[in-house]
Amino acid sequence: MNETPDPGPRTPDILLSLENVDAGYGPIRALHGITLNVRAGEIVTLIGANGAGKTTTLLCCSGIVTPTSGAIRFAGQAIHGQPAHAIVRHGIAQVPEGRKIFPRLSVLENLRLGAFTRSDPTEIAASIDHAFTLFPILAERRHQAGGTLSGGEQQMLAIGRALMSKPRVLLMDEPSMGVAPLLVLKIFETIRTLNREGLSVLLVEQNARLALKLAHRGYVIETGRIVMEDDAKRLLADPKVQEAYLGE
């Protein structure tokens, strides 16, 4: 596989935006004035050290964590403060860190649960077929319990489940974690394919080099604050980013 894919063209329309977002857990403040955006048709990556606030940023976008101040908008409409199921209906879906599939349910049942916002059985069946086309191994394991899959297969299932809601923006939290290297490449190829089909992606990924090679743009977060923003290729070539996150 080409490890440095060209993500292709993108449009300037902003789909998802965070404006001066603060958030935390009880007395602990995790985010300090986060501002970022994801445009239609692009992949944006958020890189930073463990504990920098990457996951909290995604959880704010998906409605699991409520910001204490600031605004989150989707297609121009304010969504901060709305419950997670309402945000899914807007067109945002998350692939969570650690996958969090339903281990006792089959692959097929996990996928069907991802379509809880939809009602047309024909369209739902078509989305299941699309997931099986993206990840043929899931088709082979459709009646197998999710908890018996390998780490990489579970990650594929988590992505397929998120796609079942037909999102416009996909939030991805550490998709390579606990996944064999060959399957990591397959998953990243799939992200590129989905983006070329029109899906926008906000990606948090421990492998910063791979994330920046895949993305159009990137943000660097440190202790809950965005400290850098640039074209992904320029961030990849930046000596400070290389030293801090790329091991150079």
| Of 5-14, 43-52, 151-160, 190-199, the least confident | 5-14
**pTM given for the model:** 0.91
80 lies in some domain: yes
The answer to the question of residue 130 being in a domain is no
Instruction: Evaluate whether residue 53 is within a structural domain.
Output: yes
On whether residue 6 sits in a domain, the answer given is no
Read off the CATH number of the domain in which 86 is found. Answer: 3.40.50.300
Amino acid at 58: L
Token pair 């060959």: residue: 182
Which residues does 50 contact at the CB level (< 8 Å), separation at least 6?
none
Q: Is residue 145 part of a domain?
A: no
Q: Which domain holds residue 226?
A: 14-100+167-245
DSSP readout, 84-123?
A: HHHHHHHTEEEE-TT----TTSBHHHHHHHTTTT---HHH
Confidence at residue 24, expressed as pLDDT on a 0 to 100 scale: 93
Distance of CA 212 to the CA centre of its chain: 14
> How many distinct structural domains can be found in the chain?
1
Please give the DSSP secondary-structure letter assigned to residue 175: T
Cα separation, 180 vs 228, in Å, equals: 30
Domain presence at residue 111: no
Looking only at the bridges linking them, the beta strands covering 69-74 and 14-25 are: antiparallel
Residue 92 above 50 pLDDT?
Answer: yes
Tokens of 217: 């743009």
User: In angstroms, how far apart are the furthest CA atoms of the chain?
Assistant: 52
Check if the beta carbon of residue 190 is closer than 8 Å to that of residue 134: yes
Say if 71 falls within a structural domain.
Answer: yes
In a domain, 137, yes or no: no
For residues 118 and 152, the answer to whether their CB atoms sit within 8 Å is no
Over residues 169-216, the pLDDT tens digits come to: 999 999 998 888 888 999 999 999 999 999 999 999 989 999 999 999
What's the whole-number average pLDDT of the chain?
92
